[in-house]
A and B are shown apart, each in its own frame.
Chain A
């Protein structure tokens, strides 16, 4: 009994220290290599970091229990002389465990779970519409308000600080419209129009950040990997100029 308590105390201290140090270091860990270019992307990065923070104590708990046991209780490999104590776990241990794991599940379900869905997927207003059409293996971008359609486009031009509704569809198989820098994707399903809302917050080009690209994310056949287009986020003035130039060039 005495040894059992000692081990519990030691393991708890190691767990606490490890968790504490880890949680202090986590914020400076640059897992996410490039900045989000949208309000929604920021929310998603925050949700990601929050889940890291919440998951870390669980990670260290199992790790410490596992490695403490391995190092502390190891005996000679062929030593069958002695059995360990016949522990079965009292009901209170099990109920505590269920409550803790249950509570953790409820917490992440509420935030960032419910909050994430309501922030990202439940506000159907937009300043501007861009229609995205996938086909094997390129994209067509249409700006209905400006009468601009770009077939087999290699660049998607977007104005900064504008809430955009992407109306996404496909003419053949299922594709997926993904801009890694915006942290969002939505499938392009034949026979359906799916939507995705985004407010881009920073100007930039594919050359500056390769995650500023449209990438098909749903396997769609031979050309899937290269079904890409670059994304260019420009200021409102630059966008107006681009629209004008496009309209002037139209047949």
Chain B
């Protein structure tokens, strides 16, 4: 079992690193031995999990183990080190679904505290940590879930490849993510002054350079997450560029693959900024530097710039894959070609290019020079143009279609609805005047939940329902799927719509307590939040039950045209009996005689 061995090796590594740094003269009682210990923990964890086996065993002249397959290990292979892109995809999907539910549970905890003004059960310090934990875990989900799960499982099949370009780096980027969760939960378990981290997911110094081991854990966790993103992005870029099947020209690439591909440019380039920013904070903490310490000549605003140079593109790392899933699903269930396929790709590239130029819209009230707000406001207003392209593409696709409102389609349509509200409310944040009031209020909380949860997470669930039969070979219960959709959709509106009102009328974000005048609305929001949380019980029941004993799924239950639907459910190892030849466009619904690809004959619904 890779997990147990990984933890064992990790702990040994940690102790070795700690001991090594002490014996080399690093002062005991400072944070430095812990930071160095973590680096060794990380190395030990990867070693124990088996990520280094292939190299290490050959160095020592040992024979390499045969990789686990479905035949040899069954479901246990999902808990083991594997370089199979489909296994890694499932590992990502399940791991991040669990992180999503965990982060949701943290939200339930602080919404309980916010049900009434005054203190109920969390101390302000606990509140801040619980709220920040919700934030960073959800960021991890938003950055990695779609890319990790479907970017791995679906994308290589869509392009007609047998696996990713670098299967071992792929595994490395997955096995890099569990330590993120260990650290975040670890910080929540520390006691006394070391407990927790109270700076949101943004970790602005000097607040994040205040002593406390939990804060260091957070910083190391975020850096580790960044490492995983960079590795994953590199792999996806190379895979799409190098491994497309014969005939899979750029003009025939499925839109989901385009989304994953364009997103990876952002991850690869910009994640390095946040890694650097966080690393400088760590140096300020453990090495006595003063990059962000104003009393020693450092600059607090410098961090905000470095942070947002990554973290604004990061919101597009989250939403482009969401758009891509939506645009992938709409043609299938509308029985129409994707409207303006090339324009939509242009929209993705437009967003990618422009997202690099808008970061300081998070800093209109930071004290940056007034004239500098203007170009960032302009760039932010203009990014609505490529986003608008995606909208017209979605609307044009369903216009005059033959709409079949199956569960994945409902979720995809909800993305349009939610992101409409999320996008329009964003204009109020982009405008300097209104942002002076709205910045750091619940308006912003409402806005980014509408875009990221309403846009991306709804798309994630659309993708889970859409590809569930392909991944598991079984069909989920359609009635329960619809029940989950309506419950989640209505619950979501009830939670986040009132937040716009709260924000404008005096409730700032990240507060453990608020003025009594806002009590009624907060009670409503909290009650709705519990309702929303409960909707996922339906999902979990449906998915677990269907995975174990659902009816056998057909190879192509939705009548879709892309390659993953032309092969067995679940696909065989290396996906294809013979590499397919791509001959036409993936979304030619209603086009007489158009064939996307020619494949060797497939077995239908084995056993």
A residues whose Cβ falls under 8 Å from a Cβ of B? 3-4, 7, 31-34, 41, 43-44, 47-48, 51, 55, 58-59, 62-63, 65-66, 69-70, 73-80, 82-89, 94, 97-98, 101-102, 104-106, 108-109, 112-114, 116-117, 119-122, 168, 172-174, 176, 178, 180-181, 183-187, 189-192, 194, 210-211, 213, 215-226
Contact = CB atoms under 8 A, between A and B. Distances in A.
B504 A31 contact: yes
Contact of A120 (B295, B298, B433, B501): B433
Contacts of B505: 32-34, 180, 211
Contact of B125 (A41, A89, A104, A222): A222
Main secondary structure of the interface of A (DSSP, over half): mixed
B590 A84 contact: yes
B431 interface: yes
A120 B436 contact: yes
A189 B513 contact: no
Nearest to B401: A84
A246 B365 CA distance: 32
A44 B437 contact: yes
A187 B366 contact: yes
B554 to A, nearest CB: 12
Contacts of B378: 109, 113
Interface in B504-541: 504-506, 508-517
A102 B437 CA distance: 26
Interface stretch (B27-35, B231-239, B367-375): B367-375
Contacts, number: 277
Nearest to A68: B399
Given A69-B399, A225-B514, A86 B588 contact: yes
B245 interface: no
A184 B436 contact: yes
B422 to A, nearest CB: 12
Interface stretch (B174-182, B254-262, B332-340): B332-340
A232 B298 CA distance: 37
B436 A185 contact: yes
B390 to A, nearest CB: 11
B427 interface: yes
B404 A75 contact: yes
Contact of A186 (B200, B365, B396, B501): B365
B406 interface: yes
Contacts of B199: 219, 221
B513 A51 contact: no
Interface stretch (B318-326, B381-389, B464-472): B381-389
A69 B365 contact: no
Nearest to B501: A31
A109 B378 CA distance: 6
A191 B205 CA distance: 12
B370 A117 contact: yes
A97 B432 contact: no
B385 to A, nearest CB: 5
Interface residues of B, number: 88
Contacts of B385: 98, 101-102, 105
A174 B590 contact: no
Nearest to A48: B434
A222 B128 contact: yes
B366 A48 contact: no
A226 B513 contact: yes
B111 interface: no
Contacts of A181: 506
A112 B433 contact: yes
Given A84-B335, A84-B589, A174 B206 contact: yes
Contacts of A101: 384-385, 388
Contacts of B80: none
B300 interface: yes
B476 interface: no
B340 A89 contact: yes
Interface string B431-470: 1111011011100000000000000000000000000000
Contacts of B366: 187, 189
A185 B440 contact: yes
Nearest to A8: B399
B417 interface: yes
B391 interface: yes
Contact of A190 (B200, B206, B392, B428): B206
Contact of B299 (A119, A122, A176, A191): A191
B336 A55 contact: no
A209 to B, nearest CB: 9
B343 interface: yes
B395 A65 contact: yes
Residue of A76, A216, A220 with most chain B CB atoms under a 10 A cut-off? A220
Which 10 A-B pairs give the minimum distances between C-beta atoms? A191-B294, A116-B433, A194-B367, A83-B590, A225-B511, A84-B336, A180-B506, A101-B388, A84-B401, A183-B437
A122 B221 CA distance: 42
B537 to A, nearest CB: 25
B559 interface: yes
A108 B431 contact: yes
Contacts of B590: 83-86
